């Protein structure tokens, strides 16, 4: 049985660790990245089954990371954002993301999205 591989990208260490710990507790293999460049390198190397990607990061935002990954991969992507802009959901769809969740989020909602995305893969 293959263990689903998830890449979590967030520049906030506490959020990164929270998501990672909860996914690992449910049996997922989790890779992490704290910025866009590291996310792209890790995605290329590890070939995750799912990406959880923060929008607001220094140097390269999540929209750009998503667009770059979409050039070579169809991996499901869930975007996370602390911003509540009305256009964010549309921007996520436009750059190729599969779903969007606003921070702070309910853990159960993220876990349900993860399950759904992995079933569609």
**Residue 75 is part of a domain; what is its CATH number?**
3.40.50.2300
Q: What percent of the chain has pLDDT over 70?
A: 95
Whole-number pLDDT of residue 121: 61
Whole-number pLDDT of residue 91: 85
Q: What is the pLDDT of residues 23-57, one digit of tens each?
A: 999 999 999 999 999 999 999 999 999 999 999 99
State pTM to two decimals. Answer: 0.93
Whole-number pLDDT of residue 30: 98
Measured CA to CA in angstroms, residue 80 lies from 43, 44, 70, 88, 92 at distances of 17, 21, 17, 10, 10
pLDDT value at 61 more than 80: yes
Counting the structural domains of the chain, the total is: 1
Range of the domain at 26: 5-120
Mean pLDDT of 88-100: 88
pLDDT value at 86 more than 80: no
Q: Please classify residue 34 by burial: count the beta carbons closer than 10 Å to its beta carbon, then call 0-12 exposed, 13-18 middle and 19+ buried.
A: middle
């Amino acid at each position: 049985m293959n263990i689903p591989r998830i890449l979590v990208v967030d520049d906030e260490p506490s959020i990164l660790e929270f998501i990672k710990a909860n996914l690992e507790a449910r049996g997922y293999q989790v890779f992490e990245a704290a910025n866009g460049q590291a996310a792209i390198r890790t995605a290329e190397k590890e070939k995750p089954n799912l990406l959880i990607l923060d929008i607001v990061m220094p140097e390269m935002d999540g929209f750009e990371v998503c667009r770059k990954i979409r050039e070579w991969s169809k991996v499901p992507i869930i975007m996370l954002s602390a911003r509540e802009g009305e256009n964010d959901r549309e921007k996520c769809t436009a750059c190729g993301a599969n779903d969007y969740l606003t921070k702070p989020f309910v853990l159960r909602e993220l876990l349900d999205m993860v399950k759904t995305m992995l079933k569609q893969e």
